[in-house]
Amino acid sequence: MGRIEIVFMVIALFWQEFEAWQGALPPSVTSTARELEQPSGAGRAVQLDLATPGRLVQVTIWESGDVDLIMGDLSTGEILANEHREVTTRIGLRGLLGDVSEAIS
């Protein structure tokens, strides 16, 4: 039962952290975040898209705490990262967002 309470919080925690994190991004970075439509029986998810002059990044966070991160280089077409993680706390979300900031710098 405690796990259910934690996973529902991951999406809410993301929205709380996102605004401050987004405001600290360099002006050359465009970012959008949106809650994905839920097919019947599927859990909630948020998708974060970022673009810089040289990179594209997409992060998907599910209410289960599962996270997928994909980053590509626009000049070469190379996939620089294709990772799966699990995030269940505010500290984990801050770490994820920090890693994304560093990767696009």
What are the two backbone dihedrals, phi and then psi, of residue 102, each rounded to the nearest 5 degrees? -65, -40
Q: How confident is the model at residue 8 (pLDDT cuts 50, 70, 90)?
A: low
Report DSSP state, residue 89.
S
- Distance from C-alpha of 23 to C-alpha of 74, rounded to nearest angstrom: 24
pTM, two decimal places: 0.86
Residues 49, 31: contact at Cβ < 8 Å? yes
Summarize pLDDT for 13-65 with one digit per residue, the tens.
999 999 999 999 999 999 999 999 887 777 889 999 999 999 999 999 999 89
